[in-house]
Structure 1
Amino acid sequence: MRGFTLIELMIALVLGLLVSAAVMQVYLINTRTITIQQSASEVQDSSIFAMQAIEEHVRLANLGNPISYITDATDHGGIVLTQTNLGTNNTTATKYLTLNSATGLSNIKDKPSDQLTIQYKNITPYDLYDCEGGKIEVAEQDWVVERYFVRLATGASNSATTKDLVLACTAGRVDTDGNVTEAFTGNGEVVVAAIDQFKILLGVQAAVDQLTYLPPSVYLDIDKPTEGEKPAITSVKLGMIVRSNTPLITDTDADEFTLLGTKHELKADSSRKKYYRRSYESTILLRSARIMSIVATVNNTP
């Protein structure tokens, strides 16, 4: 038997390398595709279910309050903007109320995350559950306060440029006078496991046929009219940029998003991992804060 010549061995080696390269390329493409699909599924599942849960709770805002005209001065108003909203005796720090914080954690350049604090009372014939899973019994007299905010994930480092953040909610109670009977200032339960930004806008009835959306800070700066009250808050817009938990096998990922009509750009960080990201928005009508405007007309027909 003659065996193989050197040329034949070299040809076989080259052909083998070509076949191996083709197989590896197919494997990498399939792996990249599967990773993208898995990441997109994670974001979609997290966002859809989380958004639905948040919407259900925000719709409860102002439940149990006989006053449907919500402002920053409404006693036990559904959107908690001031201590007055929580009751006459309340002394809760402003940083735990609805606000556009200058220090709110986010991974967006020059745009800190917001915070939403709502309030309601269970006047239904059924037991309810707050955002932390706490039972709200029928005819419970205390007001439920829920605070939605962005914080570091458990065990995450605060020194990194792009941080590992979560959207959390903590629930507490205040009595009729505003005394805190259960604190709502803790770390709370995770609602969205991976998030880069959380923003809110308040829907304000500026006129009978006009609804405008304002950041909480802008609404608080509105001067109260000489006669009457500030325009009422009737809805809330929520916006969030959610990311996957599984990193992408790619050199680039999206770093610019449009959220609530504003451009949002990720912080510059060459060392950050690449993730699938997507922005989500939702407009929530406050069922217990509907304003009815009646315009009277005179019939001059004889």
Structure 2
Amino acid sequence: MNLHSANGFQGNNIVAKNKKHAGFSLVELMITLTLGLIISGAIIQVLVSSSVTNKLNQAVSQVQESGRFIMSRLSKEFYEVGRYDLITANIDTSVDIVAEAAYVQNNSVALAGDFINNATLGTVQTGSGGSDKLVVSLLGTSDCTGNRHGYPVDTEFHVVNHYFVVGSELKCTGYDGRVLRGLKSQTVSPITVTLLDNVESFQIQFGVSDEIMTSQGQAISYVTADQLANLRASNQLVVSLRWALMLKSYQNEVRQTTAQKFALLNEAEKTMDTAHYYQVFSKTLALRNMKNFVRSSR
């Protein structure tokens, strides 16, 4: 083989090697980068959407769990409003229990002025969209906080429970009704407990009977607390409760696209923020003890 042929063969090998090690062209790189950005953007969007959905699901679950808990608890406690059992209950007899029974049954929903030792304590219809306040009387072994106020175990006494909202907390303060009425000196101080956090609104309406001398114990209308005094003076008593609670999620990053609007019972509609999940829980409960009392009073 001559030198010219050898040089030609060597040149062909160099060209072949250069072809094997050639990189992407600028156009190919731009296409690749563009596709990569599109795919990365799609993945990020999926992750963001998944995160938002997960936060919303957590918020819904949390609010519903809280709603079920508080509605169950309030139902059990409200069901006893107006109860005074003179036959089978083991009642502390340090006061006149017949007079006490009449007081509890006729004042099952307490109003301001009912208690001589706390004249301002009573059920309130709060204006300007604020949460209502509920004060009820019943015979029980303890108040809403579990406080027995020094009474012996298993004995029952006049319990007064005050439900109200401070900030975003639904609270309850329990009292000894006998102390409030001036029949007994206070030996154990009232206790206040928080029943639930993240409460946006608490509203109450009252189902009242017609005049008790002719009543069947059915609610003929639902009214607000500011109407109760006049109805009580007309011998119309509360025989059922209707309440509504608006709860909001703990999370403030739900980021809903549309603001939720709610109207609780008689309240005006309110537009809530989009950073929380809100839900309303409501219930109407017949007060069995009050229905029976009204019927027996005919």
Q: Please tell me the TM-score bracket, short chain as reference.
A: 0.7 to 0.9
- TM-score scaled by length of structure 2: 0.74
State whether residues 142 and 156 of structure 2, in contact with CA within 8 Å, keep that contact through their aligned partners in structure 1: no
> Within 5 A, what are the aligned runs for 1:109-188?
110-122=128-140, 128-135=141-148, 137-141=153-157, 143-152=158-167, 165-175=168-178, 178-179=181-182, 181=186, 182-184=188-190, 188=192
The reply to whether residue 201 of structure 1 matches residue 205 of structure 2 is: yes
Match of 1:5 in 2: 25
Deviation of 1:202 (Å): 0.9
Match of 1:82 among 103, 112, 133: 112
Q: Larger C-alpha radius of gyration, 1 or 2?
A: 2
Distance in 2 (alpha carbons) for counterparts of 1:148 and 1:195: 13
Task: Return the structure number with greater relative CO, CA threshold 8 A, min gap 6.
Answer: 1
State whether residues 65 and 120 of structure 1, in contact with CA within 8 Å, keep that contact through their aligned partners in structure 2: no
The reply to whether residue 100 of structure 1 matches residue 118 of structure 2 is: no
- Identity fraction in percent: 24
Deviation of 1:29 (Å): 1.4
- TM-score scaled by length of structure 1: 0.73
SS of 1:206's equivalent? coil
Structure 1: give runs of 5+ residues left out of the alignment. Answer: 67-73, 103-109, 123-127, 153-164, 296-302
The reply to whether residue 245 of structure 1 matches residue 263 of structure 2 is: no
Match of 2:91 in 1: none
Offset from partner CA, 1:193-235 (integer Å, 9 cap, x none): 11111110111012646621100102224483xxxx4211111
Q: Structure 1 255/183 Cα, relative in aligned 2: closer, same or farther at 3 Å? A: farther
Q: Structure 1 170/176 Cα, relative in aligned 2: closer, same or farther at 3 Å? A: closer
AA aligned opposite 1:178 = R
Q: Structure 1 289/249 Cα, relative in aligned 2: closer, same or farther at 3 Å? A: closer
Distance in 2 (alpha carbons) for counterparts of 1:218 and 1:39: 37
Match of 1:260 in 2: 265
Distance in 2 (alpha carbons) for counterparts of 1:190 and 1:201: 22
The reply to whether residue 232 of structure 1 matches residue 237 of structure 2 is: yes
Offset from partner CA, 1:127-157 (integer Å, 9 cap, x none): x45322335732244x2221111102xxxxx
Structure 2: give runs of 5+ residues left out of the alignment. Answer: 1-20, 87-101
SS of 2:281's equivalent? strand
Distance in 1 (alpha carbons) for counterparts of 2:232 and 2:162: 26
Distance in 1 (alpha carbons) for counterparts of 2:38 and 2:131: 51
